[in-house]
Amino acid sequence: MVQEALILQDIHIDDFLTIFVSASLVLVFGGFYVGIYAAVKVGLLKKWTMPLGYGFWILTGYCLYLMGSLMHVNDFTAKALVVAAIGLLLLPHAVYYMQDRVHEENEH
């Protein structure tokens, strides 16, 4: 493995605000995505709102990209961020699948 310096560049003074805001929005948008998905599945929201949920996941991905590039992350961290984003995409599907399974087995 080639040893790569993790922190080479200073963060530009005007970039701090964008980094903090986009990093916060990562979880806010991510929460919206998961929330909308769950709400549609339990019938609190209409079915057509689902694409909106996936739209929020895309925004999450964009915020991660923005945050990562302004922080000058190295390759390893960039990969970790992509894994986290995909994990978030799959998370509610897995949760719902399992919840549904258990309810089916126990209530019918």
Q: Which residues bind other proteins (CB under 8 A)?
A: 5-8, 10-11, 13, 16-17, 19-20, 23-24, 26-28, 30-31, 34-35, 38-39, 42-44, 71-73, 76-77, 80-81, 83-84, 87-88, 91-92, 95, 97-99, 101-108
The radius of gyration computed from the CA coordinates of the chain, to the nearest angstrom, equals 18
Length of the chain: 108
Looking at the Cβ atoms of 48 and 102, the one nearer to other proteins is 102
| DSSP string over 55-96 | HHHHHHHHHHHHHHHHTT--HHHHHHHHHHHHHHHHHHHHHH
Give dist(CA 27, CA 60) in Å, integer.
7
Q: Whole-number minimum distance, CB 69 to other proteins, in Å? A: 11
Q: Whole-number minimum distance, CB 65 to other proteins, in Å? A: 14
Residue 47 CB contacts under 8 Å (≥ 6 apart), including other chains: 40
Q: Whole-number minimum distance, CB 51 to other proteins, in Å? A: 19
Q: Whole-number minimum distance, CB 23 to other proteins, in Å? A: 4
